[in-house]
Amino acid sequence: MNEYKLVFTGTTGAGKTTAINAVSETPTIKTDVANTDASLDKALTTVGLDFGQISLTNGDRIRLFGTPGQTRFDFMWKILAKDAFGIIILIDNSRADPLADMDLYLTGFLKELETIPCVIGIGRSEKNPTPGIDDFSIRLAQRNLILPVIPVDVRRAQDVILLIDILMAQTEADMI
Amino acid sequence: MNISEKLHNKYQQECQQLLNGQTGILAVVIASADGFDIASAVTKSLVPARIAAMASSISAIGTVVSQEVSLGNSKSVTVNTEKGFTYITHLELEGKSCILNVVADDSAVLAQIIYQCSEIGKRLNNT
């Protein structure tokens, strides 16, 4: 049996904890505390990590880790990304500048992205269609990155599974 | 976390008194549970904002560990290092859960720091 480590990161409120909750077979371990940041419209925020896990049909297991979103917790980003087989960056398209948000995490995980496959998931894009998927891809290309960008609703397990499937496919492609 | 200037000065005074009153303390930081520094006293180039965020993460992980093993609420976390330690404990300020973090070198006595932190907790709870 193989064990894989997958990291969810991205904007605060983009749904990292929700995504892990949606697919984890075990109750998600959360480090949520009361949010005191008035600029964020949420009662709780993750300050340590989230953890869940899923089993694949072949018996392999994926351990799912979620990072805090705020940059003041960027030391946790490095800790959690160590030995990960993939990184999923979740972006909230209802925020003021989602492209800048993506830039923040691409920079934060710059070293890791040299070797670790990554997928970008864009949330709340149905009600907030701008920027579009092409805009994200163009911004990635400007950074010499070619990464899958897909719209997601992380409350739906099948959307989260799709993100993971794409990462797995990327990993297999890299092995060829 | 919004606090009055009077309370902020009180918290600041507690941090400074602890730093000045005990040997080996490098930093004392009071932080909100979500990692914002509220009051601090530091030496050297330690950054209170950074210490506050790290203390928040460590404290939260301590809490989930204690829940996972059903040993009641986490009271404190100590990180012992080759050259000192970090002691992180919970504080209740204005009805809100907060964190008191002390960073010290190996000339500090952990038991004294624990005692002093407990006294600070009692005093601030009664403010």
Mean pLDDT across A134-143:
97
A36 touches chain B (CB under 8 A): yes
- CA closest to A45 among chain B residues: B34
Q: Which residues have a Cβ under 8 Å from the Cβ of A160 and sit 6 or more positions away?
A: A19, A22, A23, A152, A154
Indicate if the pLDDT at residue A120 is higher than 80: yes
Q: Are strands A118-123 and A86-92 parallel, antiparallel or unpaired?
A: parallel
Q: What pLDDT is recorded for position B3?
A: 82
Enter the CATH code of domain A3-174.
Answer: 3.40.50.300
pLDDT in tens, A143-174: 999 999 999 999 999 999 999 999 989 887 77
Query: What mean pLDDT comes out for the span A124-134?
Result: 95
Please report, for chain A, the start and end positions of each structural domain, with discontinuous segments joined by +.
Answer: 3-174
Q: Spell out which residues of chain A touch residue B61, defining contact as CB-CB under 8 Å.
A: 31, 48-49
Rounded to an integer, the average pLDDT of B42-63 is 94
Could B60 and A47 be called an inter-chain contact, meaning their C-beta atoms sit closer than 8 Å? yes
Q: Quick check: B50 contacting A, CB < 8 Å?
A: yes
Chain B residue with Cα closest to A29: B64
Residue A72 has pLDDT above 90, yes or no: yes
Any chain B CB within 8 A of the CB of A145?
A: no
Would you place residue A176 in the very low, low, confident or very high pLDDT band (cuts 50, 70, 90)? Answer: low
- Interface A–B counts its CB contacts (< 8 A) at 60
Query: For the segment A21-69, what is each residue's pLDDT rounded down to a tens digit?
Result: 999 999 999 999 999 999 888 999 999 999 999 998 888 999 999 999 9
B44 falls in which pLDDT band (50, 70, 90)?
confident
Q: Which of B57, B58, B63, B73 to mutate to test the interface with A (most CBs of A within 10 A)?
A: B57
Domain range summary for chain B, segments of one domain joined by +: 5-125
Sign of CA dihedral A120, A125, A131, A133: positive
B68 in reach of chain A (CB within 8 A): yes
CB atoms within 10 A of CB A162: 16
Average pLDDT over residues B117-123: 96
Q: Which listed CATH number (3.40.50.1110, 3.20.20.450, 3.40.50.720, 3.30.450.30) goes with B5-125?
A: 3.30.450.30
Q: Which two tokens stand for residue B110?
A: 């952990």
The C-alpha atoms of residue A167 and residue A152 are separated, in whole angstroms, by: 14
Of B73-77, B101-105, B115-119, B123-127, where does mean pLDDT reach its minimum?
A: B123-127
CB contact under 8 A, A72 and B33: no
